[in-house]
Amino acid sequence: MIKEIIASIDELNSVVNYLNETTPKDAIIFLVGNLASGKTTLTAHIAKAKGIEAEVISPTFSLQHCYGDGFYHYDLYRIEHSEFMELGLFEEFDKSGWHMIEWGGEVLKAFLLGAGYDVFTVTITPCNDKRQYQIERN
């Protein structure tokens, strides 16, 4: 089943609430969408709802940001899948909590599903001046 929600930035709580209601405590969430579609913005709103005070920015230059209390944010735009695996970064996914991934590829997703992780995909598409969020469990 794919859930579809259309939301402006001010309406993002509808997406955050849906995720909080349907996503287990430990999950890997792929954020799929073009440049500037709103992946980091959604991550920031989820963090805020979790009571995380730190500013959420794109972790492009560090691959991963850990916001404590089981909330992780990755930007894999600049790294090849093979490099990610060689660095052993996939071991991070064993940590309890939500792992938000920007620019994660299908190869990584297939690997994680094969390894038994609970994987979700949020596909973000521009829709007039809002965004459409398609949320599915893989």
Residue with the two structure tokens 């991070």: 92
What's the token pair of residue 4? 């579809």
Q: How many residues does the chain have?
A: 138
Judged by CB under 6 A, does residue 101 bind ligand ATP? no
Counting other chains too, the contacts that 81-89 makes at CB distance below 8 Å and 24 or more residues apart are: 81/105, 81/107, 81/108, 84/108, 85/111, 89/63, 89/64
| Single-letter code of the amino acid located at 22 | T
Partner that binds at residue 35, options Mg ion, ligand ATP, none, CB closer than 5 to 8 Å by kind: ligand ATP
Judged by CB under 6 A, does residue 104 bind ligand ATP? no
Determine the interface stretch with ligand ATP among 22-30, 34-42, 91-99, 105-113 (rule: CB under 6 A).
34-42
C-beta separation of 24 from 118 below 8 A? yes
Size of the site for ligand ATP (CB under 6 A): 17
Question: 3, 48, 58, 85: which one contacts ligand ATP (CB under 6 A)?
Answer: 58
Judged by CB under 6 A, does residue 130 bind ligand ATP? yes
Judged by CB under 6 A, does residue 97 bind ligand ATP? no
C-beta separation of 70 from 25 below 8 A? yes
Which residues form the interface with Mg ion (CB under 5 A)? 39-40, 58
Judged by CB under 6 A, does residue 37 bind ligand ATP? yes
Would you tell me which residues interact with ligand ATP (CB under 6 A)?
A: 7-9, 12, 33, 35-41, 58, 102, 129-131
